[in-house]
Amino acid sequence: MKKSIWYKDSTLIGFFGRMLLLITVMLFAIVVLGFLPQYLLIYLIVVVVFFAVCGLIVIIYAGLLNK
């Protein structure tokens, strides 16, 4: 049952995964370069966390719908 759920929503999960990976890589690059002021960095981290939470909610909701 779990396999079918993951297979059914693989495109959605893949989309969120790629988006989060891209944001994380960009954020890491910015941190390493140190171009941004601290307040802007904190704002970016909050945005990344928000997207992560939204992604998890969507994945969990999709899983519950296909139960």
Q: What is the pLDDT of residues 12-66, one digit of tens each?
A: 666 777 777 888 887 787 777 776 677 777 787 888 888 888 878 887 787 777 6
User: What is the per-residue pLDDT for 48?
Assistant: 81
- For residue 16 the two structure tokens come to 């969120």
Residue 1 has pLDDT above 50, yes or no: no
Structure-token pair, residue 19: 């988006």
pLDDT above 70 (res 7): no
What pLDDT, on a 0 to 100 scale, did the predictor assign at position 40? 76
DSSP state of 66: T
Q: Whose structure tokens read 């893949």?
A: 14
How many domains are there within the chain? 1
* Host domain of residue 59: 2-65
